Amino acid sequence: MTGSIPAVIVLEDGRVFHGESYGAQGTTIAEIVFNTGMTGYQETLTDPSYRGQIVVMTAPHIGNTGANAEDFESRRVWVEGYVVRDPARRSSNWRADRTLDELLRDEGVVGISGVDTRALTRHLRERGSMRAAISSETLDTDALVKQVNEAPQMTGSNFLADVTTSEAYVVPAVGEKRYTVAALDLGIKGMTPRRMAERGIEVHVLPATSTIDDVLAVDPDGVFVSNGPGDPATADGPVEVVRGVLERKIPFFGICLGNQILGRALGRGTYKLAYGHRGINQPVQDRTTGKVEVTAHNHGFAVDAPLDTDFETPFGPAHVTHVGLNDDVVEGLALREQPGFSVQYHPEAAAGPHDAAYLFDRFVETMSRSTTTPEGTV
């Protein structure tokens, strides 16, 4: 054992848990959320949607397979803090090139281990997500609580500038190129363009600040808006872009924040869930087929839309296509009369089950139907 350094985690309502320092030492303050996935911690840590959040892992053993060069979902670790119960002392996997502890320290992520993560999770479930601080610098919990309460709230936060790419780049199609897609990067996970590329799509990943003209400049067969962190109510720029896309009837697909942005473009509001959906075991029903898929989720906000009736939008009627069966949250939207749909969860599934991968095929089909000059045979 490395000599254990005491650490503490305090919540904005004053609840305190004591533990040991894990990863980098220091103090971090952010919104605290829990993730129930039993696998995929590396993908979780590197998911840009976790920007601005301390993540509690409900699975007790974290780090068993270490970290490897292949399972990064973006260029770096994004979580603001990491809470685990029993971190691995050694990693065991043929792909591992360092331990998770090393990765966290390399990336400067302040963590804490040895806390009753289940008690913490139950607290968040009952009281809702809130702000918290982890510190191995000071154990003065009163001072930390005060600091936490002075920190900004998640509602109203915008982290897009932090997570998006600074320059546009292209992910080439695997095999023969069939379509061009402009993908607005609001914190895109690496697996998403890969899933599209596998289907013959050349993906032009564009910065979050791109305008409709920037999008049109790549002459896309379809437009995609990615997942991302923060309050969707602050993402006005991307909403404008999506309206522009829909006005031109260009096929649209959105994931996660992309779903909320479609919702907003269609005139719906968004709201913050009490404690969100973060895990890889969430049942979602595709209402068009009745089939249930087990899906990966990471969202603290949701779209407010009627579940059982179509709703009118500037782009014609739309409807809720997917529903979370645990709590009836809107998990997917689609326009009735033009090609545009989105889901709140993660069909790219890294980490998580591949049940929803068909949505990428659906995107390809929409493009094949609306493209006048498809570059490949369908």
Question: 80, 70, 15, 11: which is closest to 50 by C-alpha?
Answer: 80
Distance CA 14, CA 173 (A): 51
331: exposed, middle or buried (C-beta count within 10 Å: 0-12, 13-18, 19+)? buried
Query: Is 319 a residue of the active site?
Result: no
- Closer to another protein by CB, 102 or 214: give it: 102
To the nearest whole angstrom, how small is the minimum distance from the Cβ of residue 90 to another protein?
5
Q: Name beta bridge partners: 34.
A: 56
Query: Is 256 a residue of the active site?
Result: yes
Query: Is 18 a residue of the active site?
Result: no
- Closer to another protein by CB, 40 or 238: give it: 40
- Closer to another protein by CB, 98 or 249: give it: 98
By CB under 8 A, the residues from 281 to 310 that bind another protein are 281-283, 285, 290-292, 294
The residue from 80, 256, 277, 331 that is catalytic is 256
State yes or no: 267 annotated in a binding site.
no
- Count Cα neighbours of 79 within 13 Å in the Cβ-side half-sphere: 30
Interface characters, 336-365, with another protein (x: CB under 8 A): -------------xxxxxx-----------
Instruction: Pick the stretch among 34-42, 102-110, 172-180, 217-225 that binds another protein (CB under 8 A).
Output: 34-42
Per rule CB under 8 A, count of chain residues that contact another protein: 56
- Closer to another protein by CB, 256 or 296: give it: 296
Q: Name beta bridge partners: 29.
A: 133
By CB under 8 A, the residues from 95 to 114 that bind another protein are 95
By CB under 8 A, the residues from 5 to 24 that bind another protein are 17
| Contacting residue, 5, 6, 39, 75, with another protein by CB under 8 A | 39
| Contacting residue, 13, 25, 27, 88, with another protein by CB under 8 A | 88
- Closer to another protein by CB, 216 or 357: give it: 357
The tokens for 111 are 């963590």
| Under rule CB under 8 A, residue 153 binds another protein | no
Task: Catalog residues that contact another protein under the rule CB under 8 A.
Answer: 1, 17, 34, 36-40, 42-43, 58-61, 64-65, 68, 70-71, 85-86, 88-95, 115-119, 121-122, 125, 279-283, 285, 290-292, 294, 325-327, 349-354
Catalytic sites, residue numbers: 256, 346, 348
Going by the annotation, the residues of the binding site for L-glutamine are 49, 228, 230, 257, 260, 298, 300-301
Going by the annotation, the residues of the binding site are 49, 228, 230, 257, 260, 298, 300-301
